[in-house]
Amino acid sequence: MQRWKIWLPSLQRQLALPQTSLQLCLLGMLGGLAAATLIILFRLAIIGLQSFFLDRADDFSTASADIRWLLPIGGALLIAVFAWLTGYKHYRLGIPFVIHRIKLKYGIMPTRNTLNQFFGGILALASGFSVGREGPSVHLGAYAASTLGKYLQLPYNSIRILAGCGIAAGISASFNTPLAAVIFVMEVVLREYRVHVFIPIMLSSVVGALVTQGVFDSVNELSLLNIIPISGWHLPYLVLCGIVFGALAFVFNKNMMRLIKLFKNWPFTARLLLAALLTAAVGYVIPQAMGAETGAIFYAVNAPDDITLLLTIFIGKMLLTLFALGLGVPGGVIGPVFGIGIVLGTLLAIIPSAVIGDSSIAGTYAVLGMAGLMAATMHAPLAALVAVMELAHNPTIIIPAMLVITTAYITGVQFFNTKSIFLLQLDFLQMPYKLSPADDVLQKVGVLALLDNQYHLLNNPDEQQVQQALDKLEPPHQLLVQRTNNNATEYFLASYDVQLSLSGNNAIQYLPLRGVNHQATMAEVFAILEDRREGAVYIYREQDMPQLIGIIRWDQVRSLLVEQNNLL
């Protein structure tokens, strides 16, 4: 046996506790490395494919018109073929699906879904669909890191944290924004802030950024924008801009959900082909609207005062993004929202530019547009602020960004009752993403953390042996009885029943025990014992089944809940 396998049980027990540990940090960094490697391969594949027909990555205006309209149709057909090969039931992808798996399945991602996300995302982005690479990055990052936890058979509570590490590394590797990646994971995906979760996620994000910088350098798309300080008289106008971004977020989310509902009964291939035809038609006329966000940034920089071009790109980008994502093209929403926000921000800068007679502030407004629209669309104001700070590399943007983000968010939430686009999709798909207060507490503690070995085990005993063992038993020890019939092993908790003994019946009662894997959390134990509110479950290792390694009693579950917020 390899030496690391000897130490594995000790590691598993350590990680069952919800506390900061060096072991979890190191595993998070290793998971981040795996995630970043996968994302780099993903990005290189897109760049490699685009190099055959584009002069500049993600700028589809450099492709000939004959090729430009064929790209989305060919991409859609290839995506449909790959989805058919892997099975259509494995075509739930992107950030909403990851949020669902994080909450209900501890972040463990199915392999076939991940294959669809990897190859489908490459084809969609390479062929000009207006989708982002962060959706695949989140999915692939969660898969890479959670697979490491599955291989080591770690407790599920630690696998969830590893999945968060992979997501942070994936976003960091995709956008070179390590801190924004951490905040996005905590604010949007995990939706909680705990130090023992935050530390390994932060380290994995650092790994993702360093690996990415080693391959793609430290530059990002927003480095093209000229961001300069703006004076105080712009602030009232920025409030109006924030209102515009909040209203646009409502329009965007509402219409995307309308398209999802309208075409939900269409065959998958038909939806993809419709998205491809619309992308081909609009892209033939407005090639600048195709692709993720990079093309929009380029034209916002080079034509900040060309109202006609910017308005055309804005309308085209909105249409292509809504139809691509609404019809099920694999990809993310953040990239296109960045592009739409940057173009809209540049458009809104035209008014103050005309007042001062200088268009140099266009880059600043472009970045503010990106931040405001992201905050209102995804309900991620802190992640939007941090993303702006990292991408802009300019501290003077902080106060204007805070003003725009808060105005856009409040406008969307209070006046338009806008929900996060991710939660809207989860509600429509009927994929649960909320936990009860008890489950939320119990899922953070693995069964190995409270494993009880105070029991005496009898193998196929007779009644006299059981009685003798009970007479010698000293609390808090329990008596377990193992019975084997036809190669099937069952466990029972044996104890005296006072009521039965008074009535003259057999005074020994046998309470059947159910088993849970050593990777399980206290939430699985609670689900088994919740109705009876007594008894115990036995814990086993998969390779040793049906040999048990300990038990968890109901009073241990109850004590944990009482300690945590008095939930019982």
- Rounded to an integer, what distance in angstroms lies between the CA atom of residue 403 and that of residue 417? 20
Chain centroid to CA 29: how far?
17
Nearest partner of 58 among 120, 132, 117, 116, judged by Cα: 132
Q: Are 169 and 35 in contact (CB under 8 A)?
A: yes
- Rounded to an integer, what distance in angstroms lies between the CA atom of residue 76 and that of residue 150? 33
What does the block give as tokens for 315? 């309308």
> pLDDT digits over 51-77, tens only?
888 888 777 888 888 888 899 999 999
Nearest partner of 321 among 268, 273, 376, 282, judged by Cα: 282
- Rounded to an integer, what distance in angstroms lies between the CA atom of residue 320 and that of residue 315? 9
Q: Are 90 and 110 in contact (CB under 8 A)?
A: yes
* Mean pLDDT confidence for 82-88: 80
Mean pLDDT of the residues in the chain? 87
pLDDT band at 358 (very low <50, low <70, confident <90, very high): confident
Q: Are 494 and 472 in contact (CB under 8 A)?
A: no
- Rounded to an integer, what distance in angstroms lies between the CA atom of residue 164 and that of residue 179? 14
Q: Are 96 and 425 in contact (CB under 8 A)?
A: yes
pLDDT band at 91 (very low <50, low <70, confident <90, very high): low
Q: Which segment, 63-67, 231-235, 373-377, is predicted with the most confidence on average?
A: 373-377
The C-alpha angle with vertex 95 and arms to 93 and 97, in degrees rounded to 5, equals 50
Residues of the chain with pLDDT > 70: what percent? 93
Confidence (pLDDT) at 546:
58
Q: Which segment, 20-24, 29-33, 78-82, is predicted with the most confidence on average?
A: 29-33
pLDDT band at 201 (very low <50, low <70, confident <90, very high): very high
Q: What domains, with CATH codes, occur in the chain?
A: 3-434 (1.10.3080.10), 443-563 (3.10.580.10)
Confidence (pLDDT) at 216:
84
Q: Are 288 and 299 in contact (CB under 8 A)?
A: yes
- Judged against a pLDDT cut of 70, whether residue 421 lies above it is answered with yes
Number of other CB atoms surrounding residue 256 within 10 Å: 21
Confidence (pLDDT) at 277:
95
For tokens 């407790």, name the residue.
155
- Judged against a pLDDT cut of 70, whether residue 518 lies above it is answered with yes
Confidence (pLDDT) at 74:
93
Q: Distance of CA 563 to CAs 200, 438, 448, 522, Å?
A: 25, 12, 18, 14
Confidence (pLDDT) at 477:
84
- Give the DSSP H or E segment for 416: none
From first CA to last CA, the distance across the chain in angstroms is 44
CA atoms within 13 A of residue 399's CA, in its CB half-sphere: 9
Confidence (pLDDT) at 506:
57
For residue 239, count CB atoms less than 10 angstroms from its CB and return exposed for 0-12, middle for 13-18, buried for 19 or more: middle
Confidence (pLDDT) at 160:
95
Q: Provide the pairing of β-strand 536-540 with 455-459.
A: unpaired
Question: Helix, strand or coil for residue 512?
Answer: strand
* Mean pLDDT confidence for 241-250: 96
- Rounded to an integer, what distance in angstroms lies between the CA atom of residue 47 and that of residue 384? 26
* Mean pLDDT confidence for 192-217: 90
Question: Residues 6 or more apart from 18 whose CB is under 8 A from it?
Answer: 157, 194, 196, 444, 445
Confidence (pLDDT) at 543:
65
* Continuous H helices in 16-93: 22-50, 65-86
Q: What are phi and psi of 460, to 5 degrees?
A: 50, 55
- Give the DSSP H or E segment for 63: none
> pLDDT digits over 307-326, tens only?
888 899 899 999 999 999 99
- Judged against a pLDDT cut of 70, whether residue 545 lies above it is answered with no
What does the block give as tokens for 501? 């003994």
Confidence (pLDDT) at 567:
47
Residue count of the chain, please give it: 568
The model's pTM: 0.90
Nearest partner of 376 among 238, 244, 258, judged by Cα: 244
Give 564's strand partners. Answer: none
Report cis status (omega within 30 of 0) of the bond before 546. Answer: yes
Q: What are phi and psi of 252, to 5 degrees?
A: -65, -55
pLDDT band at 221 (very low <50, low <70, confident <90, very high): low
Question: Helix, strand or coil for residue 419?
Answer: coil
Residues of the chain with pLDDT > 90: what percent? 43
Confidence (pLDDT) at 568:
45
pLDDT band at 186 (very low <50, low <70, confident <90, very high): very high
* Mean pLDDT confidence for 475-487: 82
Nearest partner of 367 among 229, 260, 481, judged by Cα: 229
* Mean pLDDT confidence for 471-484: 83
For residue 510, count CB atoms less than 10 angstroms from its CB and return exposed for 0-12, middle for 13-18, buried for 19 or more: middle
Q: Are 249 and 334 in contact (CB under 8 A)?
A: no
What does the block give as tokens for 77? 């057909």
DSSP conformation letters of 133-181: SHHHHHHHHHHHHHHHHHHTT--HHHHHHHHHHHHHHHHHHHHS-HHHH
532 versus 218: which is more confidently predicted?
A: 532
Q: Where is average pLDDT lowest: 31-45, 72-86, 146-160, 535-549? A: 535-549
- Rounded to an integer, what distance in angstroms lies between the CA atom of residue 339 and that of residue 291? 10
Q: Are 28 and 20 in contact (CB under 8 A)?
A: no
> pLDDT digits over 99-134, tens only?
999 998 999 998 888 888 899 999 999 998 999 888
